[in-house]
């Protein structure tokens, strides 16, 4: 069996831990022994107890959460920008 990269193993483990996928289903779909996935999940759970600052591969749910947070921040910044534009326009008017 070909050895899988650390990133791939973590991605599969995240699918189990974060996405709620069943190990047996992933084992069948990805043609990976159940014991390997179980070991990867245990290693991942150990790793998240002591997180590292970098994270290369994320699950679809994690990506959606990030996207939603970015969109919320963009809307807030756009609103602030509009308020500042109106204030600038108001304060730069010449008195009549």
Task: Give the structural domain span for 32.
Answer: 1-57
Give yes or no: residues 12 and 24 share one domain: yes
Give yes or no: residues 18 and 33 share one domain: yes
Give yes or no: residues 3 and 25 share one domain: yes
* Better-predicted residue by pLDDT, 68 or 50: 68
17 pLDDT band, cuts 50/70/90, is very high
Give yes or no: residues 7 and 40 share one domain: yes
CB–CB of 47/9 below 8 Å?
Answer: no
Give yes or no: residues 15 and 51 share one domain: yes
Does the pLDDT at position 11 exceed 90?
yes
Does the pLDDT at position 94 exceed 80?
no
- Spatial separation of the C-alpha atoms in residues 43 and 8, rounded to whole Å: 13
Give yes or no: residues 2 and 15 share one domain: yes
Residue 76 token pair: 């807030």
Mean pLDDT of 47-53: 72
Give yes or no: residues 47 and 70 share one domain: no
56 pLDDT band, cuts 50/70/90, is low
pTM above 0.85, yes or no: no
Q: Residue 90: its pLDDT value, please?
A: 86
Q: What is the number of alpha carbons within 13 Å of residue 89 lying toward its C-beta? A: 6
């Amino acid at each position: 069996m070909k050895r899988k990269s650390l990133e791939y193993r973590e991605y599969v483990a995240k699918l189990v831990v974060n996405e709620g996928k069943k190990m047996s289903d992933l084992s069948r779909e990805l043609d990976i022994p159940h014991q390997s996935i179980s070991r990867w999940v245990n290693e991942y759970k150990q790793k998240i107890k002591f997180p590292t600052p970098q994270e290369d591969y994320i699950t679809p749910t994690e990506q959606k959460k990030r996207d939603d947070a970015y969109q919320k921040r963009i809307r807030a910044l756009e609103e602030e920008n509009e308020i500042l534009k109106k204030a600038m326009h108001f304060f730069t008017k010449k008195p009549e």
